[in-house]
C-alpha cells in the first residue's frame, strides 16, 4: 500500500525529466513540441471529440485532457477520479466521496476500488438534482467542480494528495450530507458530523462553520451553516481515534487552497530536477492559515535538503 504523510507548507523534492518526441524544440538535454504529433498506429491520442464541460474561471483557461480529473470534462457526471487517499465521482445530488482501498477477491486484489455504484458519502445542497457538473476552475493539482440546479449553486474543490475536500455554495439552500453506507454510524457533535465504518472502513469528519447545527432525516444531514457558505470534510488518519482527529483536524478545516503551483529548477551539472510546490491559503474563519496537504510516496521519499518535514500523520491507500 502507498503511505501518504502530511505536510503543512511548501514541499520540495527531486524528480526526473520527461521528453516528448514529435516536431521538437531542443532545450539543453531535453525538448518539447508545439505541434500536434498526430495519432499512433492504433489511432489513439486524437483530439478529444467531446465539448469540454467548463464554467466560471475555467472558461478563460487552456483545458488539460490528461489530468487525473479529466473525466469530469467529458461526461455529465464524471468520475473515477483518484486523488489518494480518496476517490470521487459526480452525481445529481453533488459529489460522491469514497475511500480508495484494495478490494481483495481470491488470490488477486483490485486496486481500483471503489468502482461500483456505492455512495459512501454524497455532499451537495438540499434538493440538488443537477443534470451534470462542470469544471469551474483548476490549478496545478486541484480542481473545482460546480453543480447548478433551480437556484442551487454548489462547488467542491478536490486536490491530489489532499485528505480534505472543500465546499462552497451560493444562495440560501441548506448544505446536505447524505451517508449512503451505514448511516446509523454517524454522530452529530455540535458543528461536526462524525462518520464511522463507511466504505472500506473509512471514517470522516464533516466540519461546518462554528455555531452551525445539523439535523438528520433518513440518513440525510442538513445545515444552514450558521448563515455561512462554506464547509469541508476530512478523512480521519489511520490509527487516530475520531474524537482526537476532530481536535487535530479542525484548525485546518477552514483553510481552503486558493491556488496551487509547482515550479521546476534543473541543475545541468548534477542532472537533478528540483520541484517546489506552493499552496496559497484562503482562510474562511479562525486564525490558522496552513493548508492540510498530503505527500505521495515518491515525494516524501525524495525530499530535498531544507524541505519541510512531514508530520507523523499517515494515510494508507492503494
**For 211-236, how does the pLDDT look when each residue is reduced to its tens digit (9 = 90+)?**
999 999 988 999 999 999 999 999 99
Closest C-alpha among 7, 1, 10, 14 to residue 299: 14
Give domain status of residue 43, yes or no. Answer: no
Give domain status of residue 76, yes or no. Answer: yes
What the block records as the C-alpha cell of 110 is 483490485
**For 38-93, how does the pLDDT look when each residue is reduced to its tens digit (9 = 90+)?**
888 888 877 767 689 999 999 989 999 889 999 999 999 998 899 999 999 999 99
205 vs 72: CA distance, rounded Å: 25
Give domain status of residue 41, yes or no. Answer: no
Q: Is the overall model pTM greater than 0.75, yes or no? A: yes
Confidence of residue 16 (pLDDT cuts 50, 70, 90): very low
What the block records as the C-alpha cell of 312 is 507523523
Domain total in the chain: 1
Which pLDDT does position 21 carry in this prediction? 46
Give domain status of residue 40, yes or no. Answer: no
310 vs 287: CA distance, rounded Å: 22
63 vs 39: CA distance, rounded Å: 19
Closest C-alpha among 205, 143, 162 to residue 294: 162
Pure H helices in 136-286: 242-249
What the block records as the C-alpha cell of 136 is 469551474
pLDDT, mean of residues 205-216: 98
65 vs 190: CA distance, rounded Å: 42
DSSP state of 158: E
**For 109-158, how does the pLDDT look when each residue is reduced to its tens digit (9 = 90+)?**
555 556 678 899 999 999 999 999 999 999 999 999 999 999 999 999 99
Q: Which of 14-18, 171-175, 303-307 has the highest average model confidence (pLDDT)?
A: 171-175
Which pLDDT does position 104 carry in this prediction? 62
Give domain status of residue 228, yes or no. Answer: yes
Give domain status of residue 173, yes or no. Answer: yes
Full domain range(s) for residue 141 = 2-33+48-317
Give domain status of residue 201, yes or no. Answer: yes
Give domain status of residue 39, yes or no. Answer: no
Contact (CB, 8 A) for 226 and 147? no
Amino acid at each position: 500500500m502507498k503511505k501518504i504523510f502530511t505536510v503543512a507548507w511548501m514541499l520540495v523534492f527531486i524528480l526526473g525529466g520527461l521528453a516528448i518526441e514529435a516536431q521538437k524544440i531542443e532545450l539543453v538535454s531535453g525538448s518539447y513540441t508545439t505541434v500536434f504529433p498526430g495519432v499512433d498506429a492504433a489511432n489513439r491520442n486524437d483530439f478529444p471529440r467531446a465539448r469540454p464541460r467548463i464554467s466560471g474561471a475555467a472558461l478563460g483557461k487552456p483545458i488539460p485532457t490528461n489530468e487525473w480529473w479529466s473525466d469530469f470534462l467529458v461526461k455529465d457526471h464524471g468520475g473515477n477520479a483518484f486523488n489518494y487517499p480518496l476517490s470521487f465521482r459526480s452525481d445529481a445530488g453533488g459529489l460522491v466521496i469514497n475511500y480508495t482501498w484494495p478490494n481483495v477477491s481470491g488470490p488477486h486484489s483490485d486496486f481500483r476500488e471503489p468502482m461500483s455504484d456505492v455512495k459512501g458519502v454524497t455532499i451537495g445542497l438540499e434538493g440538488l438534482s443537477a443534470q451534470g457538473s462542470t469544471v469551474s476552475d483548476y490549478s496545478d493539482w486541484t480542481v473545482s467542480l460546480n453543480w447548478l440546479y433551480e437556484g442551487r449553486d454548489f462547488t467542491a474543490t478536490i486536490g491530489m494528495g489532499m485528505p480534505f475536500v472543500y465546499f462552497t455554495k451560493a444562495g440560501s439552500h441548506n448544505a446536505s450530507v447524505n451517508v449512503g453506507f451505514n448511516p446509523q454510524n454517524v454522530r452529530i457533535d455540535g458543528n461536526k458530523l462524525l462518520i464511522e465504518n463507511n466504505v472500506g472502513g473509512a471514517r470522516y469528519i464533516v466540519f461546518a462553520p462554528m455555531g452551525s447545527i445539523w439535523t438528520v432525516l433518513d440518513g440525510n444531514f442538513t445545515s444552514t451553516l450558521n448563515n455561512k457558505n462554506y464547509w469541508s470534510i476530512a478523512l480521519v488518519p489511520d490509527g487516530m481515534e475520531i474524537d482526537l482527529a476532530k481536535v487535530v483536524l479542525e484548525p485546518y478545516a477552514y483553510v481552503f487552497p486558493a491556488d496551487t503551483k509547482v515550479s521546476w529548477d534543473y541543475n545541468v551539472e548534477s542532472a537533478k530536477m528540483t520541484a517546489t510546490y506552493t499552496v496559497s491559503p484562503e482562510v474562511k474563519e479562525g486564525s490558522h492559515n496552513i493548508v492540510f496537504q498530503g505527500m505521495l510516496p515518491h515525494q516524501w521519499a525524495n525530499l530535498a535538503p531544507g524541505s519541510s518535514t512531514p508530520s507523523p500523520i499517515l494515510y494508507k491507500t492503494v
